[in-house]
Amino acid sequence: MAAADAGFTQQVVDALNDIGGRHAGSRAVHAKGSLWAGMFTPTPSAAAITRAQHMQGKPVRAHVRFSNASGNPGAPDFGREGRGMAVKFYLPNVPNDTTTDIVSVTSPVFLARTPEDFHQFTIARKPDPETGKPDLEKVGAYLEQHPEALPTIQHALTTDPPASYAQCAFNALHAFKFTGADGTARFGRYSWKPQAGEVTISHEQAKQLGPDYLRLELMERLEQRPAVFDLSLQIAEQGDLIDDPTVAWPSERERVTLGQLEVTAQARDREQGDDVLVFDPTRVTDGIECSDDPILHFRSQAYAESVFRRSGVRR
């Protein structure tokens, strides 16, 4: 995929900052988050799907970042927004802690097919200086022209806050190509399923728990037991769109459990001092390839711009 113009990428991040605010040292979106230590153990089925090193049977170390979607690091956990789960796998048998990432959110699909559409929607959501809220006419006009955005918006507006990060299902949205040791290739989409089940609470209950209840709840939970997620892969069939993250595949598509992730404790070995930790969905490894989804490829460019703004480091 061709790289987006640097000026356009900067405009998109500017538009995101117009919504969430400009906060030194913070990400442009998913600014409020916490980092946790984990261990991923692949299933025997995983090695049949891909030759990727972290899918060959042995447990691998991981970092997990849970977050809220807003670009405001001070936003309360009870806000009406999506949640994120980013996982970094430390690959075995390679030097210098080589990694690969899965980036996922609670939304079942994305709200735009192209970076240009995403930019237009972000501009439409810019808060009015007088009211501090988006102009609903502008948002409505965009949605009228882009009905593919409606499922994501409806999900954000109608879903109650989660009881715990450990009780959210997360979807990676984009398709990737998986190649096994025998050369068989297929496309699939990741999702994380919580073994504790999906549980929500009312907004009133969430407010009573406080602005940081999700992090505090997870800390308390992990004192008793790990938070466990199953990594599922939905396999595409002929005719399924692999480069459009706004379209869900039929629910009857085959699903394969690739492994189990145990989140065990809060991590304090990264994002300390000058350490910059980046989760990038295009950071893949041998046996896994990106699809031609333009949103997937643009995310890497937007993340790089966001990293530079918060750290001064060019990726």
Q: Which residues sit opposite 188 in a β-bridge?
A: 176, 235
Average pLDDT over every residue of 162-185: 97
Name the residues annotated as catalytic.
30
According to the model, what pLDDT value does residue 95 have? 64
Tens-place pLDDT, residues 97-116? 699 999 999 999 999 999 99
Rounded Cα distance, 86 and 84, in Å: 7
Residue type, 64: V
pLDDT greater than 80 at residue 312:
no
Per DSSP bridges, beta strands 185-194 and 227-235 are: antiparallel
| 176 closest CA partner among 243, 255, 105 | 243
- Structural domains present in the chain: 34-118+151-299 (2.40.180.10)
Average pLDDT (235-261) is 97
Cβ neighbourhood burial of 251 (10 Å; 0-12, 13-18, 19+): exposed
Tokens 């892969």 found at: 233
> What pLDDT is recorded for position 148?
97
pTM confidence score = 0.95
Segment 276-283 mean pLDDT: 94
The string of pLDDT tens digits covering residues 46-71 is 999 999 999 999 999 999 999 999 99
Q: What is the pLDDT of residue 131?
A: 86
Cβ–Cβ under 8 Å, residues 227 and 209: no
The average confidence (pLDDT) of the chain is 94
Whether the per-residue pLDDT at 286 is higher than 60: the answer is yes
